[in-house]
Structures are given as structure tokens and as C-alpha cells.
Structure 1
Amino acid sequence: MPDWKQKRKVVLGITGGISAYKTPEIVRALVKSGCDVEAVLTSDGEKFVSPMVLSTLAGKRVWRQSDFLSDDAGWKIPHITLADWADVVIVAPCTAETLSNMARGAGKELLCSLLLATGAPVVVFPAMNVNMLNHPATARNMEILKETGIIIADPETGSLACGYEGKGRLPSVEVILEEMWKTLCPSKKLEGKNVLVTAGPTWEFLDPVRFLSNPSTGKMGYAMARSAWYRGASVTFVHGPAAFSNLSGFDVKSVVSAEEMKRTVLALSEEMDYIVKAAAVGDFRAASFSDRKIKRANADAVTVDLVQNTDIAASLGERKRQGQTLIGFAAESHDLLANASEKMKRKNLDYIVANDITASGSGFGTDTNSVRLLSRDGSADEFSGTKEDVAERVWNRILEEDWLL
């Protein structure tokens, strides 16, 4: 986990909506991520979720409306002390009523007074009936809050507790945490930039049921994409057949074969400022596809003729425009630096991330990686750790160099 994610102080404001039932899982996830969590319930929020449950998961007391301006706890001035303590304030769920109070600067509730007093970034997750969300008053209140610098996360679309279908659902815990991390990320050097990242394997079918592929899970590419998104980039994520739990915030393009990936990437390449080729694209495909399953019958062996796929990274290098940065990946089993350096030059890349797939804890399917980042000026940096840590450090190095150009 990057240093800037560690030991963050989070105030979680919970208002009186049915989706408050999800908040214990939010607290659990925050604590698991190493955050110190203070939960603050509005008076209506207490009707939807147990303070005891939240307190147990957070490992500390939960602040309630009865603590505000009270003889027992009011002297602690919780709306000021919590406001000063927080690194970030999350309001999830946020009802139409609370949005209205926030927009008007009302301070009757402990949570709303805290929001008036804090200098920390505030991320709000509206959750309500679709008609309430679409009401002009709600839209106006959200615009007022955005103008003051408050971040309004987009509700999800789906089945609502009231029986309606539409926009207004509280996002998943994973999405809420990622929005928080994006807010807390100290670097915004990719704001206004378009970044394309490829990830995962490709499948090159021999017949309707068999294909050539590799063990790539796409974890390294995903880490590169998420790290760019934290930094403010508009991220297009082109991935082969791999499962990802949360692709929120990305423009996602799902492909299967190397040919599909090539067409997708080249069609988008001109508008991209950075292109990260982290996918493990198949170098070869069958010379001919059998539209029927190849049967064993009595054959002792089957011969398959293979032809080369187009080298996508080399094609990007040929058409690279001025100001565009190309970052390649090289998974090697031997002569790591020599092979990676040759690839970088031949494909006209600006950087290449090389890793030894035979090394323990490095390469396909692992959560960790150990890489060498080579740049055109001949420099080489070595990074190791989780794939998230490696992605963070690779971007830091690239952006540090680009910032000086």
C-alpha cells in the first residue's frame, strides 16, 4: 500500500436512508485498509443502523445527535474536534434532506455542523428514490455543493428499495473506497490527461472450444490504470479475458483476441497522452480457424500452424505523435535488461517495465512484482512490492521526468 494511503483519519457521516444498512461494511472495509474511523450518525440515521454495530466494527464510540450540545458530551465540541481531526469526510448515504441542509449551510445536526467546520475534503454519496434525485431542487443543491468544492459521487442505477428502477443506489463499498482514495491522492499531475491502459491476456482460438493464451490476470495493468485515475487522468481500460472486481471510473473496452485489442487501441491512440501496454498479448494465432471442434479421433498428434499477430506496441511506436508517451511492458525469462532495452528501441517506446517471470513473487498471477523501469535516456530504476506499490512508483518516476521536460 502506498505511503499516502496509510493510517488515514476518516469521518464517516451516515444519514437516514435505507441504504444505511450497508454502512457496517463500509466501516469494516475502512478499518481493514488501515484507516482510523469516526462514525457520525444523524438523528434519522440512528433509525436505520445500529450504533452498537458501528461502534464494534470501528473499535470506538459512535457520535450521535445526542452528543451535540449535550451536558454529557457537548463540552468535547465534537463538530469542531472531529472536523479538525479528519483527513477526509465521507457522507454515505446522503439523503435529499441532508443535501438540502448542506447547501443552505444549516447546522442543526452534528454532522452538518461538522461539515461546515471542516477544512478536509468532503465526498458525498447521494442515495435516494430516482424521482427525488431528479427533482430540480436536489439537482440545484448538488450544484451548489460542487461549487463550494465538495465532491459529489454519482449514484448507481438499478433496483431501489422503494420498488423503483433507476438511478439512486448507494455504490458498492469498493467504489466508495476508491473515490475516497482518489480524493486523498496527493498527486494530480495527470489531471486533464487521457491515459489508455491495456491489461490481461488475449485468447487466440483454434476452434470453437480451444485457444492459445497465457496466465496473465491483468493485475499489473489494473494497478497502473487505477494509479493514473487517482492522479486525475481520464482512463480508458482495454482488457482481455480477465475478471476485475471494480472498474468504476474507467471507460472500459473488453476484447478477446490480439486482433480485437489492436483495432481498439489503434482507434483510440491519437487522443491519448499516455499509453500503457501492460497486456500480455498473444504473439501468435492459428493460421486457420476450424469452425468445428478438432477431434482426437485416432490421431496420435495434431499439428497447428501459427502465424504472428501484429505487434501493437510497435504499431503505436510507428504512429506516435509529438507529446505522446508510450510505456511498454516486457515479461522475460532470460537476459532481462538486454531484451527489454532492445524492445524499447525497436518499438519506439519512451519507457519499458521489465520483469523476470521466473522470479519468485514476480510476474503472472501474483499480487507482488519486482521490475526494472528503463527509459530512453538509458536510466534504469528498480521497484518491488505489491503491484499497487510498483504502479505508484512507476508513475511517480515517469511523471517526475515528464514534469521536467
Structure 2
Amino acid sequence: MSVLSGKKILLGISGGIAAYKTASLVRLFIKAGAEVQVIMTPASKDFVTPLTLSTLSKNPVHSTFYDEQDENAEWNNHVEFGLWADLMLIAPATANTMSKMATGNADNLLIATYLSAKCPVYFAPAMDLDMYKHPSTLESFKALQSFGNIMIPAESGELASGLSGEGRMAEPENIIAFLEADLSAKLPLKGKKILITAGPTYEAIDPVRFIGNHSSGKMGFDIANQAADQGAEVILVSGPTHLKPKNGSIKLISVESAQQMYEACHQYFESVDVAIAAAAVADYRPKFVAEQKIKKAEADFAIELEKTKDILASLGEIKKNQFLVGFALETENEIEHAKQKIRKKNLDLIVLNSLNDEGAGFGKSTNKITFIDKDFNIEPMPLQSKEAVAADIINKVIAHYA
């Protein structure tokens, strides 16, 4: 999955012949899963039509502060555009537009929006060879980059004038690749490897029946998706569930029993930086598993159980530099039981769930947690969606490495 997926991208188009390439650029953004809004300078409409770009982006295209044909029309708020975007790209960035960007000459909607943007701003220059090398253009490059803007270098090739040389706007595919590489390199968990467990385990009674629980696995899958979106290499060990990772980079290892989960975790634990044990692992399993389906015969039937291996405790015993996160689902004396678990299992952080909290527990889309770290600092969190809870958990990991 592209790092651009889910991103809100504001595309600014200025008036150069390379503007015709922006139709392909918008299409590639949409294909990558991004949401796109387009702002054009009035001159750019001579090279590509707003209708084309609005059709491809599935959003209205704006080029003026208000609709001069409609005296009752609302104005296009450049501040709102600037706050909406996760990133802004100005392509093509002509010499004229870059000069206005550098000097703050906000005589059109695009420049006013640029000056209001709180997000990272990229610009892809496009002009003829001599213009590209002119001292005033070079000063614009220098000024814009000193402001923190990121330049996507022009390419060499045949230019509209018939000359050949530097100044050709980077091809849309190359712009996408540049953005993906730059964004990926800046993700806070880039270079980190995270092991996450999710879902229930099923402990066989016979070939048909099992001992299990109501865990859907959603919490663990949401954590895995958040970690991968922040640049981590994620190994997700999951018990039986219908869920699939949303981020295609996640390595999913499907298991059924607590023993299989134990073995998978120990296979990878030594090589990871972080382990987050979100699975609801069975504490007991049948001591003897029937080879054939047990028939309904006796009025009373007993199953002898034995303890499963404690995966989290076993990882705590061999932990070196790993940041180890556990979960605790409690119904009474929640804080004290969670603290005992931190000590007993050598955890760095525990995520406490209480079944006494409305909206928390298995099979729900929400969760209410309390963070307790190894120094017993307690941080209760509000009731949130499991996606928001997952983001909070991953932010704790990010803060650990900050």
C-alpha cells in the first residue's frame, strides 16, 4: 500500500505547458488512495481544463476567491484549504509562481493558500532552459527551500521551445515516487520491526469442538495497521479471525492454538524492536484431545484442563532491548492486578481494559483503556474507537524512541 493512501493532497497548478501532465498526476494520486483537491491559477486554465481535473479528482476545482458570475456565492477560503491538506504540491511551479511564493505576493488563490498551508509543501519547477538557470530563478529555489519547502528537481529533455536541457517538469510517475520515498523516510517508525499478536486462540477438545473466547482480533489488527502506516515492519501473529490487514506490507502469520502462537512469537521475538501482545490467549487447554468426535452419551461430562504456556511472561524472561507491551482485561482490582502483571512479566507498558467500563471489551468497535508504564505511572484514556486507541498505543511506541 502506498504511503500516500489516505492522505489529503492539495495540488496547486500554475500556468505552464507542463500543466497538461497534471491530469495524469491526479489520476495517480487517486490510484494511490489519496484524496485530492485542486487549486489553479487563472493562467493554468489555458493549458488544462478544470472540468478534466474535477472529474479525475472527484472534487470541485478552484481558481478564484469567489465566483464572479454568482454574487451570492460563498468565497473560497484559502485558510481552510491550507489547514485541510496533509501535504501541498505545486506542479508545475513556474518562475512567476515561485517568485510570488518567495516574496509573498498573494495576488491569486493559489499563493494565498500556499502562505496559509501548515503542511509540508513540495514544488516541481517547470520552465525553459534559460529561465531555469536565470539568477532570479535560482534565488527563488534557494528562498523556497530555506522556508522548508521541498523541491522536486526538474528533469532534462526536450522542452516546449524546441531546446533540450534542464527545466522539464518531473514526470508524474517520478513525482509520485519522490513523494513516497520522502514521506516514507520521515515516518517515525521507519527502520523499526514490531511483533503484534491478535485475536483468540482455539484449544481443541476433539476434531469438531474447541475452547475459545469472543475476541474478534480487531484491536490487534488496528494496532498492526497503525504501526505499518507509521513506517514499521510489522509481523502480525493472529488467531482465528475473519479480519485481514489493511496495510499490504504487514506479514500475517495465522495460527490456531496458544502453542502455535507461542512458537511463532519465539521465532521472531529476538529480531524485533517492539512486541505488543494484544491477543486473547487461552489460559487452559484440554489435557487430552479426542481423536474422534465425542458422542453425547453421559449426563455429566468433564474435561481435564492443563495450563497453556504464558507467551507474554516467556517473552519478558528473554527480553533484551525490546519494548514489551501487554494487555490486561480485568473485572476487579484492575489497577493492582495490572501492576502485578507488569512486575511478573517484565513489561514496559500495559494497556488495561476493564469489563466494568461501558463500551469496552470483546466484539465492540470502541474501547476504553488505561496506560500503566513500568514506573507505575497511570494514564486513563477516554472511550474511543479502537482505531483511535490503536493510534494512542503506537504513539506510546513512537514516544519511547523519540
Deviations 1:213-266 (A, max 9, x none): 111122221222223223322211111112125241212211111111110100
Residues 291 and 89 from structure 1, CA distance in 2 versus in 1: closer, same or farther, beyond 3 angstroms? farther
1:4-403 equivalences under 5 Å are 8-11=8-11, 15=23, 23=30, 30=35, 37-38=37-38, 57-58=58-59, 60-61=60-61, 87=119, 119=149, 149-151=178-180, 183=183, 188-242=187-241, 243-244=243-244, 246-296=246-296, 298-321=297-320, 323-384=321-382, 385-401=384-400, 403=402
Residues 120 and 253 from structure 1, CA distance in 2 versus in 1: closer, same or farther, beyond 3 angstroms? farther
Aligned 8 A contact 1:14 1:23 in 2 = no
| The structure with more radius of gyration | 2
1:362 Cα offset (Å): 0.9
Deviations 1:175-205 (A, max 9, x none): xxxxxxx9499x8442322111111111112
Provide structure 1 residue ranges, at least 5 long, that are not aligned to the other structure.
Answer: 31-35, 70-74, 91-101, 109-115, 123-140, 153-181
Q: Distance in 2 between matches of 1:38 and 1:255?
A: 46
1:361 Cα offset (Å): 0.9
Residues 337 and 81 from structure 1, CA distance in 2 versus in 1: closer, same or farther, beyond 3 angstroms? same
SS in 2 for 1:327: strand
Residues 286 and 14 from structure 1, CA distance in 2 versus in 1: closer, same or farther, beyond 3 angstroms? farther
Aligned 8 A contact 1:10 1:89 in 2 = no
- TM-score, normalised via structure 2 length: 0.62
1:89 Cα offset (Å): 9.1
- TM-score, normalised via structure 1 length: 0.62
SS in 1 for 2:342: helix
> Hey, what does 2:97 align to over in structure 1?
none
Residues 52 and 317 from structure 1, CA distance in 2 versus in 1: closer, same or farther, beyond 3 angstroms? closer
Q: Distance in 2 between matches of 1:14 and 1:365?
A: 45
Deviations 1:70-129 (A, max 9, x none): xxxxx9978867777594799xxxxxxxxxxx8xx7679xxxxxxx9994799xxxxxxx
Residues 121 and 333 from structure 1, CA distance in 2 versus in 1: closer, same or farther, beyond 3 angstroms? farther
Quick one: percent identity of the two aligned structures?
29
Q: CA RMSD in A?
A: 4.6
Q: Distance in 1 between matches of 2:388 and 2:313?
A: 28
Aligned 8 A contact 1:239 1:254 in 2 = yes
Residues 304 and 334 from structure 1, CA distance in 2 versus in 1: closer, same or farther, beyond 3 angstroms? same
Deviations 1:284-317 (A, max 9, x none): 1111222222222x43333222111100001001
Q: Distance in 2 between matches of 1:6 and 1:16?
A: 19
Q: Distance in 1 between matches of 2:108 and 2:127?
A: 13
Q: Distance in 1 between matches of 2:325 and 2:119?
A: 33
Q: Distance in 1 between matches of 2:10 and 2:376?
A: 43
Aligned 8 A contact 1:198 1:239 in 2 = yes
Q: Distance in 1 between matches of 2:220 and 2:118?
A: 32
- Aligned AA for 2:381? F
Residues 89 and 189 from structure 1, CA distance in 2 versus in 1: closer, same or farther, beyond 3 angstroms? closer
Q: Distance in 2 between matches of 1:223 and 1:9?
A: 24
SS in 1 for 2:337: helix
Q: Distance in 1 between matches of 2:311 and 2:275?
A: 11
SS in 1 for 2:206: coil
SS in 2 for 1:361: coil
- Aligned AA for 2:314? S
Q: Distance in 2 between matches of 1:206 and 1:15?
A: 60
SS in 2 for 1:315: helix
- Aligned AA for 1:263? E
- Aligned AA for 1:281? V
Q: Distance in 2 between matches of 1:144 and 1:378?
A: 49
SS in 2 for 1:151: helix
Residues 275 and 121 from structure 1, CA distance in 2 versus in 1: closer, same or farther, beyond 3 angstroms? farther
Aligned 8 A contact 1:10 1:88 in 2 = no
